[in-house]
Structure 1
């Protein structure tokens, strides 16, 4: 409890100065030891040299105006993530391997530890909208400058590899898409061609031809119908004429038979020179001639009837053929709207596929041009506007600031040690402390004797005992 009270009591500046003066040897020793150790740490820390390079990202607007790029990310936007990309393992590992950095760390702990250490030694800061500053720290100023100047080139190479790989992937995708779309277009072309073959004569483009054919067949039907009417009329006339001719020929044949019998009878009664015989012979000859003429006309009429009948049969067959042609043309015209709808649907899908194919072909050409532009613009993406020079003085540690901090720390530890010891010391050194710490009144204080150590006895107030059983020793 006494110790807690000692720790809780306060100290004035004068008391603190007095306590430090009384323990000046201890305070000085502690401060000196701390200062020496801190100074040794500060002075033995290796010097780190920093080299900085400023890189400007060149815009790619002219290339975008000439052709649409397949790498959608604008190069200026990479500044938003430039620190992460510069500190990425591929860039740092390539720099470590190329410039043989951190050989001890690589041999002992591996490449990952070396990459982690290089991340600690690198500082990337974006400057404005189109530039960034890269700072590298190393114990060797030459190495610091070399690495700072080399890192932007490595970063540029890696960035260009990524962009060219993206452009190449886009070109490959367009190639694959073009092949697939080409197959689709060919399939539609074959389907449409087969459809036209299957429905030849009933296609929309043949509708006008079918209408003209139907008109032509209709006109021929009318002509043949008229010819049939005329032929049938002729056959009717021949039929009526045949009855008349048959009657005349029969009459003439009967008359000829009668004259022949009369002539035979006359010849039995008279001679050939008899007038009656001559008359009968002359009538018989005339009758025979008339009969033969009638029979000739009869045969001609029969031949004409046969011809007319054949003509009517031919005309009727032609009419049947023409009617079939008309029905075929009419059937084609009736089917044309249905096939026109199906063909229009196929042509629509074909046009969509062909348009997509042409678009993919165009994009593929643009992708190839964009890939070539990415390769040609490789040297113009990043421009080092302020290369790193060899640093003449180390950037850290700041030895003057370090020594000042060590001095203040040593002084603070010395003062703190003296104050703590003073607060833990319960000795009474003057009358003021006695009055503050004791509840009894102080009657007298024996002053310190020169060069001697005395024992002082504090007399309590009246009513108390004559002496204190446990006097406190005063220095």
Structure 2
């Protein structure tokens, strides 16, 4: 009686027998696939690649003499140039110029051709210790002459566009700085004119004229004191001449008033000098400064309460027969002149005093104007220096002395194709055909429902006993085995 289940060895043996049975089908499929694969591989077009080396040159003139305006390094510039050169418009122009992809132009869209060309372009970077030193540019295609021509065209585009971009960037920077310089110059002229008008409107009240005003005020006070003393001498001479009459004592009392006024003016000038010296070191909140300001205000109040000293021109009528009448008349004329001069001196003192009093306000206003003017002037000087540097850098780029790309070797026509790799592809085709033919044989065997062994019969009908089998019969003339016939007995039938 047969075993209840097939062992692994029996299954392998059964599979081998089945493959032997399907050998002709397997060989036919293998031959067809192999021939088709070999034909396809051998008819694949050759692929050529041409490559050129481009060197990244640093700036030829030292940065100590001319600073470049192109701040991006070579890697960033290469990335930017790649975006520009590999753009659709530029690649389409090259396709139209050299009539690339002639077999695909009618059946393929413009975008697909551009994308195909973009995939055929290769860029490989080479770095050293200082950064990017060179890069290689390659192009792959089906024509040896075509790939060399296109590779050189792309390399020339990289070099020319690098020079164009650097020059445009330098010119753009120069133009921007020139516009900024022009606007700053206009602002500087406006502030300068405003400062000049302010100085002309407040001439004599400016902080740098404070010392001169103090000296002039002191001189005027000395002149006023001398004028007062001269008036006192004339009054005394008039008294001695007997022209003052009974009012002489009163007039002598009045002569003390100008002397007191002069002393008060002298004290006020001294206080003003001390206040100016304190303000050079301290603010108005300092106690000594506040105290000195209070003293000046007190002196101003005392000066305001003093009466004006005058000598009446007609205090007494002179005796026409008296010989001193002419002398007295001269004294009166001189005193009137001294009084006029004294009034002018007092007016000048008040004018210079107002200048000194307004000095803190003028200092604050002119400080603000000067600060704006100095800031704009410094900004103008910086822009002027940068503009000169940018102009030199632009000239440097125009003369191609800045950092640039240089083609070391032009792309040459390749001697041999780089693809396809036919030997590996043929080996792959062989193994692919073998695998496919075996798969077809296995599929055909699995779809065949005939029973070929006792084990298969037992798997299909496990409850039916097998009475016997007929062996393989090989005719003597052909040597081929006849089909195995299995006879079954089904329940005694």
> Which interval holds the TM-score relative to the shorter structure?
0.7 to 0.9
Q: Distance in 2 between matches of 1:392 and 1:352?
A: 69
Is 2:122 aligned against 1:123? yes
Q: Tell whether the 8 Å contact from 2:159 to 2:406 is kept in structure 1 after alignment.
A: no
Kindly state the Cα deviation for residue 67 of structure 1 after the two structures are TM-superposed.
2.4
Secondary structure of 2:157 counterpart: helix
Q: Tell whether the 8 Å contact from 2:53 to 2:134 is kept in structure 1 after alignment.
A: yes
Kindly state the Cα deviation for residue 33 of structure 1 after the two structures are TM-superposed.
2.1
Summarize the Cα distance change of 1:427–1:350 in structure 2 as closer, same or farther, 3 Å threshold: same
Map Cα deviations across residues 191-220 of structure 1 (whole Å, 9 max, x no partner): 000001110111122222222221221111
Kindly state the Cα deviation for residue 124 of structure 1 after the two structures are TM-superposed.
1.6
Aligned residue for 1:308?
Answer: 331
Tell which deviates more after alignment, 396-405 or 179-188. Answer: 396-405
Tell which deviates more after alignment, 179-188 or 18-27. Answer: 18-27
Unaligned runs of 5+ in 2: 1-7, 247-317, 476-481
Is 2:465 aligned against 1:441? yes
Q: Distance in 2 between matches of 1:215 and 1:98?
A: 93
Q: Distance in 2 between matches of 1:138 and 1:299?
A: 139
Tell which deviates more after alignment, 110-119 or 205-214. Answer: 110-119
Equivalent residue in structure 2 for 1:198, among 197, 201, 204: 201
Q: How many residues align?
A: 404
Summarize the Cα distance change of 1:141–1:93 in structure 2 as closer, same or farther, 3 Å threshold: same
Secondary structure of 1:66 counterpart: coil
Equivalent residue in structure 2 for 1:324, among 347, 353, 359: 347
Tell which deviates more after alignment, 343-352 or 93-102. Answer: 93-102
Aligned residue for 2:492?
Answer: 466
Summarize the Cα distance change of 1:38–1:449 in structure 2 as closer, same or farther, 3 Å threshold: closer
Is 2:334 aligned against 1:335? no
Q: Tell whether the 8 Å contact from 2:243 to 2:328 is kept in structure 1 after alignment.
A: no
Is 2:182 aligned against 1:179? yes
Q: Distance in 2 between matches of 1:301 and 1:379?
A: 102
Secondary structure of 1:162 counterpart: helix
Q: Distance in 2 between matches of 1:361 and 1:404?
A: 73
Aligned residue for 1:368?
Answer: 391
Summarize the Cα distance change of 1:109–1:419 in structure 2 as closer, same or farther, 3 Å threshold: closer
Kindly state the Cα deviation for residue 84 of structure 1 after the two structures are TM-superposed.
4.5
Q: Tell whether the 8 Å contact from 1:51 to 1:135 is kept in structure 2 after alignment.
A: yes
Is 2:236 aligned against 1:237? no
Aligned residue for 2:29?
Answer: 30
Q: Distance in 2 between matches of 1:379 and 1:335?
A: 59
Q: Please list, as runs of the form range in 1=range in 2, the aligned pairs for 1:232-381 lying within 5 A after superposition.
A: 232-239=235-242, 298-377=321-400, 381=404
Q: Tell whether the 8 Å contact from 1:79 to 1:131 is kept in structure 2 after alignment.
A: no
* Structure with greater helix share of residues: 1
Q: Tell whether the 8 Å contact from 2:55 to 2:133 is kept in structure 1 after alignment.
A: yes
Q: Distance in 2 between matches of 1:332 and 1:380?
A: 63
Aligned residue for 2:450?
Answer: 427
Aligned residue for 2:45?
Answer: 46
Aligned residue for 1:391?
Answer: 414
Q: Please list, as runs of the form range in 1=range in 2, the aligned pairs for 1:71-82 lying within 5 A after superposition.
A: 71-79=70-78
Q: Distance in 2 between matches of 1:360 and 1:79?
A: 30
RMSD: 2.9
Unaligned runs of 5+ in 1: 1-8, 244-294, 468-475
Aligned residue for 2:438?
Answer: 415
Secondary structure of 1:382 counterpart: strand
Q: Distance in 2 between matches of 1:76 and 1:453?
A: 77
TM-score if structure 2 supplies the norm length?
0.74
Summarize the Cα distance change of 1:455–1:331 in structure 2 as closer, same or farther, 3 Å threshold: closer
Tell which deviates more after alignment, 447-456 or 12-21. Answer: 447-456
Aligned residue for 1:248?
Answer: none
Q: Tell whether the 8 Å contact from 2:396 to 2:402 is kept in structure 1 after alignment.
A: no
Q: Tell whether the 8 Å contact from 1:242 to 1:301 is kept in structure 2 after alignment.
A: no
Q: Distance in 1 between matches of 2:209 and 2:337?
A: 31
Q: Tell whether the 8 Å contact from 1:19 to 1:422 is kept in structure 2 after alignment.
A: yes
Tell which deviates more after alignment, 387-396 or 192-201. Answer: 387-396
Aligned residue for 1:291?
Answer: none
Is 2:98 aligned against 1:87? no
Secondary structure of 2:119 counterpart: helix
Summarize the Cα distance change of 1:201–1:454 in structure 2 as closer, same or farther, 3 Å threshold: closer
Kindly state the Cα deviation for residue 378 of structure 1 after the two structures are TM-superposed.
6.3
